[in-house]
Structure 1
Amino acid sequence: MSTPMRTKLPALACAGLVLATAISPAALAATGAAPRSQAVTIDDRGSIVSADLLARLSAEQVAAYLTRAKSPVPARPQGADLYAVVYRTTAVDGAPTTASGIVALPARSRKNLWTVSYEHGTLATKADAGSVSDGDGRAVPLLFAAAGFAGVAPDYLGLGKGPGFHPYMDSATEVSATADLLRAAGELAGRKGRTLSGDLLVTGFSQGGQAAMALGKSLRDDSTFRLRAVAATSGPYDARNAEMPALLDGRLEPHIAAYYLAYWTVSMNRLHHLYDAPSEVFRDPRVEKLFDGRHSFDEIVAGLPASPRKLATAAYLERLAPLRRAGEGDGVQ
């Protein structure tokens, strides 16, 4: 699992750009595979609540933006339109809700566009998500739009303009929030005189690596999208046998380990009820409130103790001991 300090945008963008250019629409055409239109025919899920144009950028402006973001720039970039989209989806319990995300559409390419979905890394602050904040949640889909793709980047549930809490590390809602944004992207493209082919490339970093793999698995037999490739980077693919032991046995920097352990614990309690009161798992019960979606990253880090041992109660560490022993460390730091 990567550190939450800042996502590695250049590395991720390079991996995703290689994926996109290696399996480009032109390359597909050369194979004789026929594109098809992407229709949005499902009930209410994926329908657009709002779509706000954030920027209409020329090719030169796109290149300048990506350069400032320390991202690769396509050899012949297109201009692009960048939208913040709010759309209908489902909550953890299956109830109707809304979520938000970014859709970037290229200026020149108009028909049968391939789509690239970017799954972002760990965020605990609503205001840091792409629909409401500049960052990789905008730069990465813009990169793909500049290369002639429709770029899509979900905020996930509870981040950006979405209501409620973010169910961190919940694969099911990472998948549903992304799939419904892909449907919303098809609707938006149609409104703008473009069509999406249904061909899909998926990439993601950190939490997004895991989300990308889960999305890829869910779409293997999907009738709406044709999954062409997945490039997942630095994801927590085996939380029980790899990530959690690394958090607990000292292989990860202790303060970062405290961040991930606290965030995971709060999220899992909301999903699966791990505790009745935060004092059962945290030495300082105020830790739970740091993950309300309103505290900034810096506020969260400043409010956390310096290690898992200082974060968690002895009773909670004992409950986690089987996970620690699943790894190859020599004790909680």
Structure 2
Amino acid sequence: MRNLKRIVLCGLLLAGGLGLSAAGAGGAAAAREGRGDVVAVQRLRPLDTAEAARAELAGAEFDTGTVRFGVDMFQIVYRTVDPTGKPTIASGLLALPRSGERQLRVVSYAHGTELNRTDAPSMWRDGWSVGPAITYASAGFAAVAPDYLGMGLGPGPHPYLHLPSETTASVDLLRAARAVAVEQGRALRREVYVTGFSQGGSAATALGKALQSGADDWFRLGALAPVSGAYDLRNVELKALLTTVEWPYNLGYLGYLATAWSRLHDLPTFFDPKYAGRVESLYDGVHTGQDLGETLPGSPAELFSQEGLALLGTPSGRFAAALAEHDASCTGYRSPVPTRLFAARTDEQVPVANSEHCAAVLRAPVVDTGTQEYQGSVHLGSNIAGTAQAVRWFLQLS
């Protein structure tokens, strides 16, 4: 998930305001009305040399030990579908190594919880948002990082922790990235190394499951290495958020889930009437973690109604069914590819039991990311440490 105290930029940025250029007329994909078709591409600031990539990573406290190349960065706007299956657009990031290699292995990285849409990877607001993509690209991979629906340049509210739309957004970005790579004289290989952090951990396991099931005609799952995911919302994460995770993270995540899932799954409001409108309006992609922290009360008992608190504690009905859908990203299959789950044993926001439960089903090891902190958080530090461990493992597999 994310540091809710971080101050981020406000303001809804629309595609028309960023100088996006339409995809070239020579690309047949841009002319079709299909999922993964490229709508627009913006070349972002290049990291011309390996030294420039190291500097960008070091500034965000990411490991620089695997940097070999400079990186070219592209913001892609592409066609996908919303949670109801209707056509929409989303944005995402493609990072290509300046390696001279034409055939590139692919890493798909799914980011953690963000409140403000400008913190999505393709917006490149700071080194944190692009650190994993730069890590993988500077090591020689083509890195693809979806913003998710409603983040970056995508319209509408973000369907938080909604795995079906996180999966379609991820698959369709892979298709769009493949087309953009061709225009750059590069080719993306079929095998995708799938990873992601926190919210992106379960997005990664869901994408891996989809690729294994044939979600795309070209791409297939090559390896799976999610970091610190909340894979078991019902039995682990919800209980932790209600009992042990400290303020403001507990209420911030619970409020995000309650706001998004009431809309997605036609659930009654979870909130106490004193807070319902005030808190729900803050999960619009425009407000910040600081805004949320200034609005939240001190405890779940204050934020939620008695009925809402009871439903969070003992899920039933449509809420229980939605939790089962989310938690199924780790069930029903044994990963046929190399798989590792990375997690911190002392994570203060996403207990390691999430990873242990998922790993038991996938029959994969849980690799400890240690006690590294970022902004005082072991959870955030696990993104940095897990990325460093995952890229080295991917290099061994290549």
TMscore range, shorter length: 0.7 to 0.9
Q: How far apart, CA to CA, are the structure 2 residues paired with 1:60 and 1:173? A: 37
Q: How far apart, CA to CA, are the structure 2 residues paired with 1:261 and 1:79? A: 40
Q: What corresponds to 2:155 in structure 1?
A: 163
In structure 2, which of residues 122, 126, 131 is the aligned counterpart of residue 131 of structure 1? 122
Q: How far apart, CA to CA, are the structure 2 residues paired with 1:323 and 1:245? A: 11
Q: Give the deviation of 1:281 after TM superposition.
A: 4.3
In structure 2, which of residues 35, 51, 67 is the aligned counterpart of residue 45 of structure 1? 35
Q: Deviations over 1:169-197 (max 9, x none)?
A: 00001000011111111001000111111
- Cα distance 1:64–1:280, how it changes in 2: closer, same or farther (>3 A)? closer
Q: What corresponds to 1:15 in structure 2?
A: none
Q: Deviations over 1:206-260 (max 9, x none)?
A: 1000100100011113241131111111111111111111122x21114321111
Q: How far apart, CA to CA, are the structure 2 residues paired with 1:56 and 1:73? A: 17
Q: How far apart, CA to CA, are the structure 2 residues paired with 1:4 and 1:274? A: 27
Alignment partner of 1:199: what SS? strand
In structure 2, which of residues 254, 267, 279 is the aligned counterpart of residue 287 of structure 1? 279
Q: Give the deviation of 1:55 after TM superposition.
A: 1.5
Q: How far apart, CA to CA, are the structure 1 residues paired with 2:156 and 2:274? A: 26
Contact 1:118 1:141 in 2 (8 A): yes
Are 1:247 and 2:270 counterparts?
Answer: no
Contact 1:102 1:137 in 2 (8 A): no
Residues matched between the structures, number: 290
Identity of aligned residues (%): 42
Q: Give the deviation of 1:4 after TM superposition.
A: 3.5
In structure 2, which of residues 253, 263, 266 is the aligned counterpart of residue 260 of structure 1? 253
Q: Residues 96-107 of structure 1: matches in 2 within 5 Å?
A: 96-107=87-98
Are 1:271 and 2:288 counterparts?
Answer: no
Alignment partner of 1:64: what SS? helix
Alignment partner of 1:161: what SS? coil
Q: Which moved more, 1:102-111 or 1:281-290?
A: 281-290
Alignment partner of 2:151: what SS? coil
Q: Which moved more, 1:165-174 or 1:279-288?
A: 279-288
Q: What amino acid is aligned across from residue 38 of structure 2 in structure 1? A: I
- Under a length normalisation based on structure 1, what TM-score does the superposition of the two structures give? 0.81
Q: What corresponds to 2:222 in structure 1?
A: 228
- Cα distance 1:243–1:288, how it changes in 2: closer, same or farther (>3 A)? same
Contact 2:270 2:304 in 1 (8 A): no
Contact 1:283 1:313 in 2 (8 A): no
Alignment partner of 1:290: what SS? coil
- Cα distance 1:6–1:320, how it changes in 2: closer, same or farther (>3 A)? closer
Q: How far apart, CA to CA, are the structure 1 residues paired with 2:234 and 2:270? A: 24
Are 1:116 and 2:107 counterparts?
Answer: yes
- Cα distance 1:167–1:319, how it changes in 2: closer, same or farther (>3 A)? same
Q: How far apart, CA to CA, are the structure 1 residues paired with 2:33 and 2:94? A: 21
Q: How far apart, CA to CA, are the structure 2 residues paired with 1:315 and 1:192? A: 55
Q: What corresponds to 1:12 in structure 2?
A: none
- Cα distance 1:215–1:101, how it changes in 2: closer, same or farther (>3 A)? same
Alignment partner of 2:101: what SS? coil
Q: What amino acid is aligned across from residue 241 of structure 1 in structure 2? A: N
Q: Give the deviation of 1:3 after TM superposition.
A: 5.3
- Under a length normalisation based on structure 2, what TM-score does the superposition of the two structures give? 0.69
Q: Residues 127-206 of structure 1: matches in 2 within 5 Å?
A: 127-132=118-123, 133-206=125-198
Q: How far apart, CA to CA, are the structure 1 residues paired with 2:170 and 2:186? A: 20
Q: Give the deviation of 1:279 after TM superposition.
A: 8.2
Q: How far apart, CA to CA, are the structure 2 residues paired with 1:90 and 1:40? A: 16
Q: What corresponds to 2:205 in structure 1?
A: 213
Unaligned runs of 5+ in 2: 7-27, 321-398
Q: How far apart, CA to CA, are the structure 1 residues paired with 2:236 and 2:271? A: 25
Q: What corresponds to 1:312 in structure 2?
A: 304
Q: Give the deviation of 1:75 after TM superposition.
A: 4.2
Q: Give the deviation of 1:43 after TM superposition.
A: 6.1
Q: How far apart, CA to CA, are the structure 2 residues paired with 1:55 and 1:129? A: 16
CA RMSD of aligned residues (A): 2.4
Q: Deviations over 1:68-99 (max 9, x none)?
A: 12111244510110111111111111111000
Q: How far apart, CA to CA, are the structure 1 residues paired with 2:127 and 2:53? A: 14
Q: What amino acid is aligned across from residue 178 of structure 1 in structure 2? A: S
Q: Residues 46-65 of structure 1: matches in 2 within 5 Å?
A: 46-57=36-47, 58-65=49-56
Q: How far apart, CA to CA, are the structure 1 residues paired with 2:237 and 2:313? A: 14
Q: How far apart, CA to CA, are the structure 1 residues paired with 2:271 and 2:131? A: 41
Contact 1:50 1:87 in 2 (8 A): yes
Q: Which moved more, 1:221-230 or 1:59-68?
A: 221-230
Unaligned runs of 5+ in 1: 8-38, 327-333
Q: Deviations over 1:81-130 (max 9, x none)?
A: 01111111111111110001110011123322001011100112112112
Alignment partner of 1:56: what SS? coil
Q: Which moved more, 1:172-181 or 1:311-320?
A: 311-320
- Cα distance 1:264–1:255, how it changes in 2: closer, same or farther (>3 A)? same
- Cα distance 1:321–1:48, how it changes in 2: closer, same or farther (>3 A)? same
Contact 1:80 1:142 in 2 (8 A): yes
